[in-house]
Structure 1
Amino acid sequence: MLVAVVLLLLAVVGVQVASAFPRATGPRPTPTPLDAAAVPAGADASWPVCTPPHGSTRTMPLATAPAFTIVGVNDGLPGTTSACIARELAWAGTATGGSSQPRLAYYVMAADPWTKPQLRWVPHPAWPTSDLVDGTTVPVPRAFAEATPGGGCAGAHGDPACAYVYGWAMARYAASIPGLPSPRTHRFWIDVEAQDTWSDDQRFNQAVVEGMAAGFTAPVGRGGVGTRVGLYADRTEWSSIIGRLRSGSPLDRLDEWVAIGPAGKRAAVDALQHDRPLTPGGRIRIVQWLDGRIDRDVALPAAR
């Protein structure tokens, strides 16, 4: 009996020691670095590739045989239509494939329409006066509605609830642009840039972008477009325009397309693998760099 007790005590001690000093594990495997030369490059283009209604001092070139394309649908500002849609879509048809991204996606501008640069181009913004968009009541999140007397959009220019409804309406507008093939089966990237076209109120700016994201992703039966969405920005502008996301923001965990400015393909591939995303739970899927006068992009290669 005594021997049994001793053996039992030794077993208990052994378990405690094992718990205090868990078995050593090897280092976590690190992803295999990508060879920049082997990563196919895509490209994006918008209104500067032709003369838009607002005029242009020069025409931007288009990349030759990109792996994938992202086509801007606006004439530089939300609620407008690019004069280059036909040319851009014809160019998108030359995409060669070979990356994890589809050969065609779209991007749409987002902004506060009441800033001076916006009003200079669009003097009379399509600003909502209620929570209705094309007969559908937009479900404004409490975080934005509670900042408004009455709990909904009543038309005030600085109202976060109206900003959310405006974003939703701009998503529907973008998806309804004539000549845009299959908007419900292609992703829309929301372009957040140009600090002077945004409010100083980051919560207001978040409301615009959240409303746009919700408008794109909501099912058609609930007044949305019913497609996928992602975020485009560079780190500095995202920080100044959007800042820290509100708790529970659906913008967190979205796919991201991050701009790094004038650089090279090697730097873009490195950023694709190692840069920190714009939001805590975000996922960088595409990195854009400026190659002379062409916007080029890299994404992970297609799975094999």
Structure 2
Amino acid sequence: MKEELPVKLKYSKVIRPTTRKTFDNIVGKQTGKIVKVETGTESREYRVFRETRSNIKGVITPRKIQMYRWWFRYLQLSLELDKLDYTFTENRRIKGTDNKKGYDKEYRHKVVVNRSRYEGWDLDEVLTSNFDKWWRGHSHLFVETPTKTTEILKPENMVLEDYYRYFRIDSRMSNTDTIQSMRQHLKSNRRRSRWSSKWTPLGEIRQEKLFNIYNTMIMWLQGMSTKEILTSGLFRTSRGRKVRYEVDVGSGGSSSSFYRGKKNRGQFEKRSSKVNSDRMRKDLLEPGRRLVLIVCDGYFSKHPRGKRYFGK
């Protein structure tokens, strides 16, 4: 049974990629000077996410704010599919044996958001609102507000937590020497082994990949074809690679004299490349379904226990 398409999505929409102008340096014919000439536009690439702290208006989040924005978008899509009682379908090829032929096995996964995992998120608001508005009232769920520096006077006042660091300071040192010594210690690359906020994005994934997968899911759910999706221009360049529609050019065959004659006469046909279907399935749709289901389970963008979906 194939997935039911198209789906009418009310709140989840494709995102238009921002672009920037591109320029080339050329030598002016009259002046002989090098001038910068606009040559077109290209999509902006995102930087790789790293697990470092982000300071947002005086508060600290374990990951970059963009990761929470993407969590929100994928959760909004998951909630909308849940409301529509939607079920994902994938086929896995089962290899044949000596006594049995190989076959395609169908796996189905209903989109159901585990609401108990999102206590305090106000999921009805997530479905109908936008991230910036929602974040203003819910950022406390994700921020880590550090405590001020405190002098420990008794050993029993020490708190053994991963996010605290303790130093021994000789009181005979001057304030200048003490501060200089502390700066050297604080420059070290030591990081906390865990975060204290309840909801923390897991794993490393490039933002342009999240962007491309998200837009693909929206367009595909709305019933667009592979060609329509890959030629939409609604993708970001990732590490210099663009998402595009590939075309094979040939005579339409090779075995018969009819096709050989067309080839000899230069009558070529444009055909969809197998690369297109493979890219849609392996690079965009399969990761997209799994991201939605991981979000349904209360995580982003990696399941902490490595849960498998669709038998894979």
Higher relative contact order (CA 8 A, sep 6+): 2
Larger radius of gyration: 2
Pick the TM interval, shorter chain: under 0.3
